[in-house]
């Protein structure tokens, strides 16, 4: 049996490691440009990831144009109205733009289909176990 102190130490270590990330990595794909299904939900696990510049966030954008659903995952500027800016650029390019959806997140690879971070989930589970023990 693990002692309560050991579980708490492990929990804080996992949380610390998940918060101290030197660089932000995001999935990068575009179903319109790439002309394949790998970017759609559920996302193909082979989709590449990229390192974002400072002050950027991961994005997951979907919309319909020319009767085609487009899904895009990338790094975008981390500003308050980033999604509004993305939509504005797309509307100027695609006059028939509809069903626009945009999500930004600031954790490594958070723009996947699920968008869940394993390390944060693990730390939460360990914390609950520590309380119960």
Q: Residues 69-114: pLDDT tens digits?
A: 999 999 999 999 999 999 999 999 999 999 999 999 999 999 998 7
What's the confidence (pLDDT) of residue 114? 74
Which class for 78: exposed (0-12), middle (13-18), buried (19 or more C-beta within 10 A)?
middle
Q: Beta strands of 4-126 (E only): which ranges? A: 25-27, 29-30, 49-51, 56-65, 68-77, 98-105
Domains of the chain, first to last? 4-132 (2.10.60.10)
pLDDT bucket at 45, cuts 50 / 70 / 90: confident
Strands 56-65 and 25-27: unpaired
Read off the pTM: 0.69
Contact 56, 76 (CB under 8 A): yes
Mean predicted lDDT score pLDDT of the chain: 82
Measured distance CA(73)–CA(78) in Å, rounded = 14
């Amino acid at each position: 049996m693990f002692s309560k102190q050991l579980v708490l130490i492990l929990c804080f270590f996992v949380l610390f490691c998940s918060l101290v990330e030197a660089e932000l990595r995001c999935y990068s794909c575009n179903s319109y440009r790439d002309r394949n299904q790998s970017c759609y939900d559920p996302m193909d696990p082979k989709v590449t990831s990229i390192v974002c510049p400072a002050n950027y966030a991961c994005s997951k954008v979907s919309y319909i144009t020319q009767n085609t659903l487009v899904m895009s995952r990338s790094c975008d500027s981390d500003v308050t109205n980033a999604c509004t800016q993305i939509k504005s650029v797309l509307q100027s390019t695609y006059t028939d733009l509809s069903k626009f959806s945009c999500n930004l997140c600031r954790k490594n690879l958070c723009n996947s289909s699920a968008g869940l971070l394993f390390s944060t989930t693990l730390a939460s589970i360990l914390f609950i176990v520590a309380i119960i023990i």
